[in-house]
Amino acid sequence: MDAARLRERLVRAAVVAAILLAVALTISLAPGAPRWGLALDRWRVFGSGLALTAALSVGALAIGLIVGSLAGLARVSRSPALDQAAFTYVELVRGTPFLIQLYVAFYCVSTALRLQDVFGSSERFVVGIVGLGLFAGAYIAEIVRAGVESVDRGQWEAARSLGLSHRQALTRVVLPQAVRRMIPPLAGEAVSLVKESSILSVISVAEVTFHARNIAGETFQSFAVYVPLAALYLCVTLPLSWVTRVLERRLAPPAQLPVAKL
C-alpha cells in the first residue's frame, strides 16, 4: 500500500472516529436515561414499517423510471411541445419542496378526486407512492436527458449517415450507450428514495418513521427510538451506496488513449 492511500485511509478513519465520538457525547448529554432496549421491544412494529418502506421505495422507483424516462426522452425529442411540457414538469417538481407537493396531493388533489371513495383505507399509501414516484421522476428525467446528451454527437451523425431515422438512431445507437452511463446515478436515486420515503409519515403512511414517531410520543424516549431508527436506515442505505460505487467504477467509460505523435 502506497503512502498516499495509507494517509487517505487514516484521514477517513479519523473523521469516522470524530463523528462517532460526537454522537456518543451528544447521547451522553441527553436528559434522562435512554431505554435502549425500547427499539428491540418493538421490533415487530419496526419490521412491518421497514417492509412498507421497502415497498414504497420499490413502487416509487418503478413509477419514477416510467415517468422519468418518458419525460427525459421528451426533453431530447424534436417536438417543442413535448420538450416544453417535460421541462415544465421537471422544473415545477424540482423547484418546490416534496413536503409541499405531498400536502397538495393529499389535502387538495386527493380530496377533489375523492380518492378515499375509490381506494378506501389505502388512499394514503396510493397518494404517497404516486407522489414519491412523480418526485423521483423529475430527477430521473434529468438523468435520462443528461445520459442521452453525453453521447458524442458523432454517434448521431454516423447513425444518420447509415440511413437511420432520428428515432432509430436514438433507440438503436444512442440509448444503448447512454443507459450504461445512467445506471450509477439511477442507483443513487434509489438510495435517496429510501430516505425520502420517511416524509410520507406526515400523512400517516405507516412506514418505519411513522411508527418511530408514535413510539417516541408514547414513551417520551426520543433518543432511544430515533438513534436506532437512524442506524436502521444506515443498514439499508450503506449497502446500496456501496453497490452504487461499484457500478460507477465498472460502468465508467474507458479512458481515452493518448494519440501517438508522428
Cα–Cα distance for residue pair 103/205, rounded to 1 Å: 13
Is 115 among the domain residues? yes
- CATH number of the domain where residue 134 is located: 1.10.3720.10
Is 24 among the domain residues? no
pLDDT of res. 259: 40
Question: C-alpha dihedral over 181, 184, 189, 193, to 10 degrees?
Answer: 150
Q: How far is CA 50 from the centre of its chain?
A: 16
Is 110 among the domain residues? yes
pLDDT of res. 29: 65
pLDDT of res. 254: 56
163: left (phi > 0), else alpha (psi -120 to 50), else beta? Answer: left
Angle of CA points 104, 190, 51, to nearest 5°: 80
- Grid coordinates given for 31: 436528559
Is 133 among the domain residues? yes
pLDDT of res. 115: 85
| Coil, strand or helix at 206 | coil
pLDDT of res. 8: 78
Q: What is the pLDDT along the chain (262 residues), one digit of tens a residue?
A: 567 777 777 887 788 788 877 776 766 666 666 666 766 677 778 888 889 999 999 999 999 999 999 999 999 888 899 999 999 999 999 999 999 999 999 999 888 888 888 888 788 999 999 999 999 999 999 999 999 888 888 877 787 778 887 778 888 888 888 888 888 889 889 999 999 999 999 988 888 899 888 888 888 888 788 888 888 898 888 888 888 888 777 776 554 434 444 3
Is 168 among the domain residues? yes
Is 114 among the domain residues? yes
To 10 degrees, what angle do helices 175-196 and 222-250 make?
170
| 8 Å CB contact between 216 and 227 | no
List Cα–Cα distances, 138 to 96, 128, 224, in angstroms. Answer: 11, 16, 36
Please give the tally of structural domains in the chain: 1
pLDDT of res. 34: 66
Give the structural domain span for 94.
Answer: 54-210
Q: pLDDT of 46-72, one tens digit each?
A: 888 889 999 999 999 999 999 999 999
| 8 Å CB contact between 13 and 5 | no
Is 136 among the domain residues? yes
Is 128 among the domain residues? yes
